[in-house]
Amino acid sequence: MFDIERWQEIFDTIRKNKLRTFLTGLSVASGIFILVILLGFGQGMQNGIAREFQQDAATSVWVWPGVTSKEFKGLNPGRRIQLRNENYTKSSELFKEEIEYKSPRIFVRDISVNYGNEALVYSVQGVSYQFQQIENCKMSEGRFINYSDEMTTAKVVVLGNKIKREVFGNVENPLGDFIDISGIPFKIIGFFHEQEEREEERIYIPITTAQRVFNGGDRINNMSFTLPPVENFDQAASQAIAFKEDLETYLKQAHTVAPDDTSALNVWSALEEAKRYYGLTGNIKFFFWFVGICTIIAGVVGVSNIMLIVVKERTREIGIRKALGAKPWSIVGMILHESIFVTAISGFAGLIFSMGLLEIIGPHVEVDYVVNPSVNFTVAISTVFVLILAGTIAGFFPAWRAARIHTIEALRDE
Amino acid sequence: MAKMIEIKNLQKSYQMGKNSLHVLKGIDFSAEEGELVAIMGSSGSGKSTLLNILGLLDVADTGEYHLDGKLIKNLNETKAAKYRNQFLGFIFQSFNLINYKNALENVTLPLYYQGMGRKERQKKAMKYLELVGLKDWAHHLPNELSGGQKQRVAIARAMAAEPKVILADELTGALDSTTSYEVMDVIQKINDQGNTILVVTHENDIAHMCKRIIYLKDGVIEEDKKIKQVRASEYVQ
């Protein structure tokens, strides 16, 4: 392997057979390239989907009402379901054990929001203090609504960063300032940051304030819960599904909805959804691996094919070498040495090129569901070695056969 | 004079389907150091088979073969390769140069298989190329050389390993007569330096440029005579 004479002999041969070497190399390099790119995109999809679910707490469960579609107990279909405070408090009590955080939400409508002379066209939502954990929103300044705000129906607001940028861009220190909601001053107590920009366009006020000040009564628009995190994903998912089903059953009973009515009450569990998507990405990844491995196999077949042709083409040369005193193993060694060298170099070239491409392009890829395609280096490098190994085995047999050909016959080969 | 080649009762037959073709039917022959022997015979007389056996490219069925006093018997491929490399030099009718290597590299090849260093073998190869008068063509590829030049490269290659015996199989078969004489001139010169050379040929004029002619017919030696050598230089300007 480290015989310098042998290396010189190999380099001579390679230098003088550039096209052959190039073609062998190309098939190997493209095989590796395709595999790495495919694997990269598989990872990118997984990243993208993981990110979709990071926006809210991973274990969150959301409830929002709809319209009944089935006649039940004498009630006509087409009835709009309205959630009320009692549904929320009852659910919280019923599932006290399962729930980690909980919050109702009300969308405050028919209001005008002003800051000085400026009108703010953003949605105003009444939420509970635990909504922060459910939405996974990070405070960049000040604080979120707290328990005492809720108890005292405090007139306080928490604004998204986008609002801050758009409205308070020139204001030195907007915290503690007031905005008017339908003529009532609300004190700004904090600004929050969200992953998704459109979720930064919200104005949060305490739910109690929203209901009392803006004629909300005991109506709520939706409810959200989170479950305590569990290490095991499957366990967490099955808990979430069980909770979701129980909650749905309770709400359907409370609102006299047919058990099989799918449109009256929507209960959505992030984990259940995540499970479905993860299953999907699992399948996609499997598919990419499958395609990748097929590509590698095609590469190996290509390499062995070329090896076969190379050996055939060199039969006479092998005969000459043998007549001049080359030992059979030195013939096998020479052919394998050359093929391993070429596969290794081109394999790594394909690897470096594709990984470089992923490295440069990857971070800029932010299409829906594909984020930062990248590939595990260990995986990529092992595929190169697999390819080299396979190429070696594939090359060995023709080389061995060539070395075994009778010298006289080899010399007669045209 | 030491016997370079000594064979006794050499027999060889080939299996052709069900029939057995008896090619060599008991050859006894010896050649001393410094001899220049022509082996003649019509096609099918077994002369190439004999040369292949002498060249360790083929194995006899029965009989004894001593090469430079060593009994050649039960050689495996590796051992045969080693002996070919150290003791034998080949010259073929179709030159058998490696076409992607230049003249110098072709000549260095047997030295490479001897394990000689790059510098040393290039120096040595150059010496032999000079001997055959191709020093200025050292860096030309075979397809840039004429037939006679190619055969002279092949002779230099056969010489480079400094073998005990040089075996030439129809070395002038692909050359016109002028070129043939030029090549034979080189052969005679290296024979004058004491190299033992066996030439298989079916051309009378070539055979008469050797010192001894063996006529093979139907697998046996019909005639073995020493002759007065015709110097090829007489025909070469």
**Angle, helices A377-404/A270-313, rounded to nearest 10 degrees:** 20
ipTM: 0.90
Could you give the CA distance from residue A246 to residue A252 in angstroms, rounded to a whole number?
10
| A319 Cβ under 8 Å from any chain B Cβ | yes
d(Cα A279, Cα A122) in Å, to the nearest integer?
37
A242 part of contact set with chain B, CB < 8 Å: no
CATH topology of domain B35-62+76-234: Rossmann fold (3.40.50)
Q: Suggest the residue from A9, A16, A19, A324 to mutate for an interface test with chain B (most B CBs closer than 10 A).
A: A324
Give me the mean pLDDT over the B11-26 stretch. Answer: 86
- How much is the pLDDT for B232? 86
Q: A34 near A292, Cβ under 8 Å?
A: yes
- Residue A197: CA count within 13 A, CB half-sphere: 3
Domain residue ranges in chain A: 4-53+277-412, 60-270
User: What is the bridge-based pairing of β-strands B3-16 and B62-67?
Assistant: antiparallel
| In contact, A142 and A234? CB cutoff 8 Å | no
Give exposure, A4-34, as e/b (b: 16+ Cβ within 10 Å). Answer: eebeebbeebbebbeebbeebbbbbbbbbbb
Q: What is the pLDDT of residues A312-355, one digit of tens each?
A: 888 888 889 988 888 888 888 888 888 888 888 888 898 889 88
Residues in chain A: 414
A residues 6-35 lying closer than 8 A (beta carbon) to B: 8-9, 12-13, 16-17
Inter-chain touch A12–B77, beta carbons under 8 Å: no
C-alpha B153/C-alpha B141 separation (Å) is 11
Query: How far is it, in rounded angstroms, from Cα A286 to Cα A127?
Result: 42
| B-proximal residues of A, 388-407, CB under 8 Å | 406-407
A25-82 pLDDT, tens digit per residue, is 888 888 888 888 888 888 787 777 777 666 666 788 889 898 888 888 888 888 888 9
The length of chain B in residues reads 237
Q: Which of B81, B85, B96 faces A411 most closely, judged by CB atoms?
A: B96
Q: Is B71 exposed, middle or buried (0-12, 13-18, 19+ CB in 10 A)?
A: exposed
Mean of pLDDT over chain B: 89
Question: What pLDDT was estimated at residue B2?
Answer: 77
> pLDDT at residue A308 above 60?
yes
Q: Considering only CB atoms, which chain B residues are within 8 Å of A321?
A: 98, 109, 113
Cα separation, B165 vs B54, whole angstroms: 10
pLDDT at A268: 86
Residue A285 has pLDDT above 80, yes or no: no
Domain edges within chain B: 35-62+76-234
d(Cα B213, Cα B225) in Å, to the nearest integer?
A: 6
Q: Pick left, alpha or beta for residue B169 (phi over 0 → left; psi -120 to 50 → alpha; otherwise beta).
A: beta
User: What dihedral angle (degrees, nearest 10) is formed by the CA atoms of B76, B79, B84, B86?
Assistant: -170
The number of beta carbons lying within 10 Å of the beta carbon of residue B20 is: 10
